[in-house]
């Protein structure tokens, strides 16, 4: 069925939003077929964002751990992570629809910065909704967004975090849908958002596959961290039809109790969140559970519906990495390769290092979704 991945996905939204998502779906289909628009996007990805990103063979780390480690270097992109692939794509789609205004919501602030960046580049008005608690926690990103010309609207209702920011953004969208595009940051939300974001992120997998095909082999396994799931879908799509193991790594936090992790696929159950049917973390009363890990970018109580489907079919293995293992991977990659990875990406690496025997002699491709400069304060604590 259209808009579904197996039984997951769909559109569980108020009637008032149906025309907006239908308009988006139509524009997205036209955008994909428009050669001029595609060329413009490719040009921006190259000349502005820094694509294609290289693949680095991590020689010293491979020698130390007994596998062959390849890194897809999304950390080298402008603004420091894969998020710019999606925000540039959707900002172009906004213009394609003849709209002049972008809204988004952000928790950790990374998606807000990537959205404000794309809006500045394309001359679009930009409003970012952010919970008051998050504004306090992510002060440098708030400054970045303002510097980039975005208006940051502080949401002081409910838990004053991402959930409330999403509600505020939805309210804005309903009111201003004629002029405004809601730029969602991961492969989540009602159809067609998961497909739109997957489309813009699949450039990662396409480039990676080309790299291996030019060399006459494929990796044995591809590993990526999973928050909402966009960088993982982006790289998995390049290999899903091949005999290559695909592994998604969720934030294992400090333990298995509620509030100690973000293992939506590992410990959650199917339900409806943010307009789509997928796995999520909730209690017996249907209340969405709080999630927490060392990496704010992975702390989302839901996950994209395509991942739910890939889990049920068994095509992708979903596992987790604890905070401490992500932190030691962060240190290891810094010392052995001179690359400081984002804490999110460190979860993919941490899983690999922890399970080195399983991957002995194997070629493993890790999606290095972002760089870790933003995480130094958390990792080094008082030392900075
Ligand atoms: C936001 C972010 C993630 C998590 O988002 P996905 O949609 O799961 O990719 C992962 N890595 C980095 C560096 C991020 O900034």
Mutation test residue for ligand 1: of 89, 369, 373, the one with most atoms within 8 Å of CB:
369
Q: What is the pLDDT of residues 161-178, one digit of tens each?
A: 888 899 999 999 999 999
Q: What is the pLDDT of residues 222-270, one digit of tens each?
A: 999 999 999 999 999 999 999 999 999 999 999 999 999 999 999 999 9
What confidence score (pLDDT) does residue 334 get? 98
- Ligand 1 geometric centre to CA of 375 (Å): 13
Residue 190 to residue 169: CA distance in whole angstroms: 14
What are phi and psi for residue 293, nearest 5 degrees?
-150, 180
Average pLDDT of the residues in 331-343: 98
Question: pLDDT band for position 159 (50/70/90)?
Answer: confident
- Ligand 1 geometric centre to CA of 298 (Å): 6
Residue 362 pLDDT > 90: yes
Other beta carbons within 10 Å of 377: 12
Q: What is the DSSP string of 124-151?
A: -EEEEEEEHHHHHHTHHHHHHHHHTTPE
First-last CA distance in the chain: 52
C-alpha closest to that of 117 among 147, 154, 76, 73? 147
Pocket of ligand 1 (CB under 6 A): 81, 83, 110, 186, 225-232, 297-298, 342, 344-345, 369-370
Q: What is the DSSP string of 296-348?
A: GGG--SB--HHHHHHHHHTSEEEEEEEHHHHHHHHHHHHHHHS--B-HHHHHH
> Contact, 347 vs 298, CB < 8 A?
yes
Rounded to the nearest integer, the mean pLDDT of the chain is 96
Q: Which residues pair with 249 in a beta bridge?
A: 225, 319
Mutation test residue for ligand 1: of 72, 189, 370, the one with most atoms within 8 Å of CB:
370
What are phi and psi for residue 373, nearest 5 degrees?
-55, -40
Q: What is the pLDDT of residues 274-309, one digit of tens each?
A: 999 999 999 988 899 999 999 999 999 999 999 999
């Amino acid at each position: 069925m259209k808009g579904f991945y197996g039984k997951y996905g769909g559109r569980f939204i108020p009637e008032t939003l149906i025309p907006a998502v239908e308009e988006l779906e139509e524009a997205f289909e036209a955008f994909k077929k428009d050669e001029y628009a595609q060329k413009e996007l490719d040009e921006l990805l190259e000349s502005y964002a820094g694509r294609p990103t290289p693949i680095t063979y991590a020689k010293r780390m491979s020698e130390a751990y007994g596998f062959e480690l390849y890194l897809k270097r999304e950390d080298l992109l402008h603004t420091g992570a894969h998020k710019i692939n999606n925000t540039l794509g959707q900002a172009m789609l906004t213009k394609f629809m003849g709209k002049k205004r972008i809204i988004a919501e952000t928790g950790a602030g990374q998606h807000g910065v990537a959205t404000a960046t794309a809006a500045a580049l394309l001359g679009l008005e930009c409003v970012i909704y952010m919970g008051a608690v998050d504004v306090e926690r992510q002060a440098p990103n708030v400054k970045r967004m303002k510097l980039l010309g975005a208006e940051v609207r502080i949401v002081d209702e409910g838990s004053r975090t991402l959930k409330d920011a999403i509600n505020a953004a939805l309210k804005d969208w309903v009111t201003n849908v004629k002029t405004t595009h809601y730029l969602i940051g991961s492969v989540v939300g009602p159809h067609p958002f998961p497909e739109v974001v997957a489309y813009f992120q699949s450039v990662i997998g396409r480039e990676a596959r080309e790299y291996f095909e030019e060399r006459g082999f494929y990796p044995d396994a591809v590993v990526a961290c999973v928050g909402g799931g966009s960088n993982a879908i982006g790289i998995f799509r390049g290999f899903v039809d091949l005999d290559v193991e695909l592994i998604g790594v969720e934030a294992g936090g400090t333990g298995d109790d509620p509030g100690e992790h973000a293992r939506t696929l590992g410990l959650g159950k199917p339900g409806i969140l943010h307009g789509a049917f997928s796995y999520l973390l909730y209690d017996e009363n249907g209340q969405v559970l709080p999630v927490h890990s060392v990496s704010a970018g992975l702390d989302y109580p839901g996950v994209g519906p395509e991942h739910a489907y890939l889990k049920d079919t068994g095509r992708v293995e979903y596992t987790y990495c604890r905070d401490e293992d992500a932190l030691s991977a962060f240190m290891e990659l810094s010392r052995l390769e001179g690359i400081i990875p984002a804490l999110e990406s460190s979860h993919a690496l941490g899983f690999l290092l922890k399970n080195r025997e399983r991957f002995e002699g194997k070629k493993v491709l890790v999606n290095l979704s972002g760089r870790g400069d933003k995480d130094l304060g958390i990792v080094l604590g008082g030392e900075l």
